[in-house]
Structures are given as structure tokens and as C-alpha cells.
């Protein structure tokens, strides 16, 4: 791969949405996209944190073109409101980065009783993409980037138990949500190509970083990660590089999965990431798509 982030030309006049833009990888992605002259819409649940993040970026980059719109991905009505607000202000979307995510072990659910990680990490992004796809120009520079995780490798979609209430594996729900992110990107790209669209959908994983996802871990696990992090994790800025590659590189074709190439894929140069055989199953991806349409009560026509 000959692509270099430093060689990206100005993207003036183009618009990007970054979900979860106020911290971690989302913040670094927003900072980089603004540096390339995108107008970046910071789609965030907590407006106070979003304003602080915007202020921090403007201190580094006074000419950054940023806008904040509230979005709670766990709440489908909030997703619909965000899409309406965006369409009222803008008539085009060039890059959609489905970055936001939660990692919890407490069995929380949204107000509809859906496990919070599946609701936030997958369903919210599925509906958001559905509602905004029509605004994307039909060219290969239009990108939909889904953030998956190495946690997808041992995961399954528990169609009979989406809330993962019958398993003792506390990481099953998170792994399921990240697997869903990957399989959604694959299925979306297949449908785009089948309909002769040039828009590209693909997935990435950031490797290992202290991006704020670990805040709800037990204290023992949290401090273990903190102690080991300098040796196994990389910075949020480095963790954002697979996303930026997927969003901006002319080398991508669609349907790929990129991530760090170093030890256990925790860090290193960006390249083609390893993925589970299960994640390649088109029958599962189709069933997930249909279930997601039912759960969002919205048909998704590409």
C-alpha cells in the first residue's frame, strides 16, 4: 500500500459525519478530517463534551470547519431526529464514519429493552446509514466506514438471544455488536455493487487503544489495562489511521477490512486485517440485515 496520509490533498467543500467525535478515536478522526479541510459534523450524545472537544480542536486548528449535532445512537428516535436536522442544514454527505461505540459488562438495555451495545454499536448506525445514504454522491470518494474490532473473531450473532442473557461470556454482547458492524458493512457494499453504485462501504478496526471504551470495566481489569497499555496499545491518533485510510485512500475498492498489522493486531502499520470465517457468511449477513430492518421498523433500500 503506497497511500500516505500526509499526501492527502485539500477536501474543501466535502462534508463528513463522525459519530462519537468528542473523545478517543472519534476525536482524533475529527481532528484529522478537519485538517484535510472537510466540514466535519460531530455527532455526539453529550453536547457539553462535544463543545469541549470542538474548542480543543479549534485551539489546535483555528480554521477547522466544525458543526455539532446531537445524536444518541441507542435511541432510534434520536437517530431519526439527527437525520432530519442534518438534512435541514445540508444537502450532501460525502463520508460517514460510524465510529461511536460502547463497551459495557452491566447488561444495560435501551428504552426498548434492547441490549445497549447492540442497540448503540449496530442498530443506531444501521438506521443512520439508511436515512443518510440518499445524500451521498454516487462516486468512489463517497465512503461509509464501520468500526469493528478484533473482538468480532470469537463472536456469533445470537439471533435467538440478542441480549446475550443465556451466556456466561460477559464479552459476548460486545463481540456480537462488533461482528454486526463488520457484516453490515460487507452486506451494504454487496448491495451497492449489485445496484451499480460507486459508493464504497467497508470496515476497519483500530487495534488496541485506551479510547474510553474501558471505563465500565471492573477496577481490576481497568487498572490491568492501564499498566499494560504502554506495551500493547497505541495512541488514539494511531488507532484512527485505519479509519482515515478507509475514508480517504483511492486504493480501497469496497468490502475490505483494514487494521493494524503488528503484534496481535494491537498496533502497527495499516493493512488488510484478519477476520473470522463466520464473518464472511453471506447468509448470516442477510439475516442480520432483515432483522435490523424489522428492529428499526425501516426498510433499507439501496
Rounded Cα–Cα distance for residues 123 and 276 (Å):
21
Reduced 3-state DSSP string for the chain: CCCCHHHCCCCCCCEEEEECCCCHHHHHHHHHHHHCCCEEEEEECCHHHHHHHHHHHHHHCCCCEEEEEECCCCCHHHHHHHHHHHHHHCCCCCEEEECCCCCCCCCCECCCCCEHHHHHHHHHHHHHHHHHHHHCCCCCCCEEEEECCHHHHHCCCCCCCCCCCCCCCCCHHHHHHHHHHHHHHHHHHHHHHHCCCCCEEEEECCCCCCCCHHHHCCHHHHHHHHHHHHHHCCCHHHHCHHHHHHHHCCCCCCCCEEEECCHHHCCCCEEECCCCCHHHCHHHHHHHHHHHHHHHCCCCCC
The CATH number of 12-295 is 3.40.50.720
Residue-wise pLDDT for 84-108, tens only, equals 999 999 999 999 999 999 998 778 9
Q: Do β-strands 270-272 and 257-260 pair in parallel, antiparallel, or remain unpaired?
A: antiparallel
Least confident range from 7-11, 72-76, 104-108: namely 104-108
CB neighbours of residue 41 within 10 Å: 26
Residue-wise pLDDT for 116-160, tens only, equals 999 999 999 999 999 999 999 999 999 999 999 999 999 999 999
Candidates 87, 97, 52, 47; CA nearest to 68 is 47
- What does the pLDDT read at residue 1? 62
**Res. 213: pLDDT tops 80:** no
Higher per-residue pLDDT: 212 or 118? 118
- What does the pLDDT read at residue 7? 87
- What does the pLDDT read at residue 37? 98
Domain limits, the chain: 12-295
| % residues pLDDT > 90 (the chain) | 81
pTM of this structure: 0.92
Q: Where does the pLDDT of residue 2 fall: very low under 50, low under 70, confident under 90, or very high at 90 and above? A: low
**Residues with a known catalytic role:** 174
- What does the pLDDT read at residue 168? 87
User: What is the chain's mean pLDDT, rounded?
Assistant: 91
**Res. 285: pLDDT tops 70:** yes
Higher per-residue pLDDT: 226 or 97? 97
- What does the pLDDT read at residue 267? 64
**Res. 224: pLDDT tops 60:** no
> Exposed (0-12), middle (13-18) or buried (19+): which is 246, by Cβ within 10 Å?
buried
- What does the pLDDT read at residue 42? 98
**Res. 61: pLDDT tops 70:** yes
- What does the pLDDT read at residue 298? 97
- What does the pLDDT read at residue 208? 67
Residues in the chain: 302
- What does the pLDDT read at residue 237? 82
- What does the pLDDT read at residue 227? 52
Amino acid at each position: 500500500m503506497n497511500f500516505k496520509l500526509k499526501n492527502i490533498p485539500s477536501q474543501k467543500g466535502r462534508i463528513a459525519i463522525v459519530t462519537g467525535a468528542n473523545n478517543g478515536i472519534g476525536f482524533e478522526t475529527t481532528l484529522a478530517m478537519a485538517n484535510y479541510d472537510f466540514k466535519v459534523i460531530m455527532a455526539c450524545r453529550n453536547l457539553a463534551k462535544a463543545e469541549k472537544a470542538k474548542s480543543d480542536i479549534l485551539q489546535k486548528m483555528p480554521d477547522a470547519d466544525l458543526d455539532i449535532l446531537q445524536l444518541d445512537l441507542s435511541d432510534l428516535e434520536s437517530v431519526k431526529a439527527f437525520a432530519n436536522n442534518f438534512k435541514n442544514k445540508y444537502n450532501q454527505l460525502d463520508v460517514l464514519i460510524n465510529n461511536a461505540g460502547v463497551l459495557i459488562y452491566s447488561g444495560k438495555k435501551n428504552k426498548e429493552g434492547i441490549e445497549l451495545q447492540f442497540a448503540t454499536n449496530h442498530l443506531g448506525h444501521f438506521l443512520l446509514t439508511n436515512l443518510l445514504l440518499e445524500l451521498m454522491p454516487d462516486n468512489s470518494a463517497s465512503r461509509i466506514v464501520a468500526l469493528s474490532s478484533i473482538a468480532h473473531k470469537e463472536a456469533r450473532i445470537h439471533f435467538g438471544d440478542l441480549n446475550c442473557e443465556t451466556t456466561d461470556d460477559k464479552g459476548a454482547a460486545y463481540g456480537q455488536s462488533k461482528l454486526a458492524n463488520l457484516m453490515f458493512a460487507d452486506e451494504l457494499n454487496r448491495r451497492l455493487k449489485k445496484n451499480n453504485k460507486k459508493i464504497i462501504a467497508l470496515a476497519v478496526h483500530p487495534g488496541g487503544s485506551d479510547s474510553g471504551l474501558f471505563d465500565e470495566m471492573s477496577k481490576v481489569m481497568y487498572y490491568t489495562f492501564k499498566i499494560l497499555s504502554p506495551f500493547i496499545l497505541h495512541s488514539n491518533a494511531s488507532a484512527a489511521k485505519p479509519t482515515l485510510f478507509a475514508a480517504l485512500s483511492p486504493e480501497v475498492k469496497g468490502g475490505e477490512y483494514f487494521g493494524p498489522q503488528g503484534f496481535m493486531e494491537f498496533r502497527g502499520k495499516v493493512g488488510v486485517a484478519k477476520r473470522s470465517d463466520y464473518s464472511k457468511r453471506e447468509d448470516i449477513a442477510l439475516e442480520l440485515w432483515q432483522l435490523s430492518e424489522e428492529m428499526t421498523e425501516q426498510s433499507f433500500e439501496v
